[in-house]
Amino acid sequence: MPINPESYRALALQVTCHAVNQATDCHEVRSLMQNSINRLAQQIAASIAFIGFDCRLIVLPEYFLTGFPMGDSLSGWAEKACIEMAGAEYEALGKIAQKHKIFLAGNAYEVDPNFPGLYFQTCFILDPSGSIVLRYRRLNSLFAPTPHDVWDKYLDCYGLEGVFPVAKTEIGNLAALASEEILYPEVARCLAMRGAEIFVHSTSEVYNKNLTPKDAAKITRAVENMAYVVSANTAGIANIAIPIASADGGSKIIDHRGIVVAETGAGESMAAFAEIDLAGLRRDRRRPGLNNLLSRQRFELYAESYRQSHFYPANTMLEGEVDRKHFLQTQQATIERLAKLEII
């Protein structure tokens, strides 16, 4: 029976991140990443068998192949633990997507030949052919390079559509948000302006039975953009000094009305799956009335205020290599400048 692209299931797959920080060289890192992909292949196959073959979208957690850098220099982490844009890891993940005829979304540290010595935290989506149909680089990060840090050159390379990409696919218009970027409404809004209907959100965050700022933001991003949020958290980060369960649990799916339709607790789990009612979302987006927030946006009201405001500076990493002190030093300088201006 053919699968209806306007009504299918999505899964926020909560799996353990096996960190590679203790590996001695890039060859050991590649072996550890391949082990993680092999585990994922089995978990994805078993999850689809349980959920049903109309599971068309699977979202993986943040930096699920490596964990995050701890003490490595920017160029050191780029060489040791970052994957290439057409690397073997994407090829292996593409084969999983191809085998199961799914859209597979995740997040990884990635090098770009246009920016030697740097890396970007990249959200990706693979389609059922195994091809990358979306590559989004995280725009807000306290400890990692972003396109904004090399803004002029990045725009020359990829243009604004490459900064805010939306993949228009048979299962809807897909866009990605990375981790804490759920707290930045402008990122989601710029993607919604380009037609995003489903936000895939790869994250690694503290889970709490009480409402956290990030969980509140997930609901808010869904409501204000009339879009689904499929948010996959890690089931802990193994092999680093931080206690393993510090970022574990709470993967969820939120519909375009802000209703949490699926959620899981702690531990590795495929329990956060739900139907994506794309036809219902599109009906509501085209229905006049008070609740159609997307159609009621008056962006001209805000454009000049944004144009006149300068907070965190762009292009701070265009010239030469910097060390990790750069990020906090830049933030501190920004705070001092805003304080002098009596903005904060």
Place of tokens 């693979």: 126
HEC per residue, the chain: CCCCCCEEEEEECECCEECCCCCCCHHHHHHHHHHHHHHHHHHHHHHHHHHCCCEEEEECCCCCCCCCCCCCCHHHHHHHHCECCCCHHHHHHHHHHHHHCCEEEEEEEECCCCCCCCCEEEEEEECCCCCEEEEEECCCCCCCCCHHHHHHHHHHHHHHHHHCCCEEECCEEEEEEEHHHHHCHHHHHHHHHCCCCEEEEECCCCCCCCCCHHHHHHHHHHHHHCCEEEEECCECEECCCCCHHHHECCCEEECCCCCEEEECCCCCECCCEEEEEHHHHHHHHCCCCCCCCHHHCCCHHHHHHHHHCCCCCCCCCCCCCCCCHHHHHHHHHHHHHHHHCCCC
- Expressed in angstroms, the distance from the first to the final Cα of the chain is 59
CB-based contact 238:19 (threshold 8 Å)? yes
CA distance 104 to 107: 10
CA distance 135 to 158: 11
Specify the pLDDT at position 2: 52
Kind of pairing, strands 7-12 and 167-169?
unpaired
What amino acid occupies position 203?
A: T
Q: Is the C-alpha dihedral spanning 179, 108, 225, 253 positive or negative?
A: negative
Task: Walk along the chain (344 residues) and give the pLDDT tens digit of each residue.
Answer: 455 678 999 999 999 999 999 998 999 999 999 999 999 999 999 999 999 999 999 999 999 999 999 888 999 999 999 999 999 999 999 999 999 999 999 999 999 999 999 999 999 999 999 999 999 999 999 999 999 999 999 999 999 999 999 999 999 999 999 999 999 999 999 999 999 999 999 999 999 889 999 999 999 999 999 999 999 999 999 999 999 999 999 999 999 999 999 999 999 999 999 999 999 999 999 999 999 999 999 999 999 999 999 999 999 999 877 888 999 999 999 999 999 999 99
Specify the pLDDT at position 4: 67
CA distance 340 to 193: 34
CA distance 124 to 233: 16
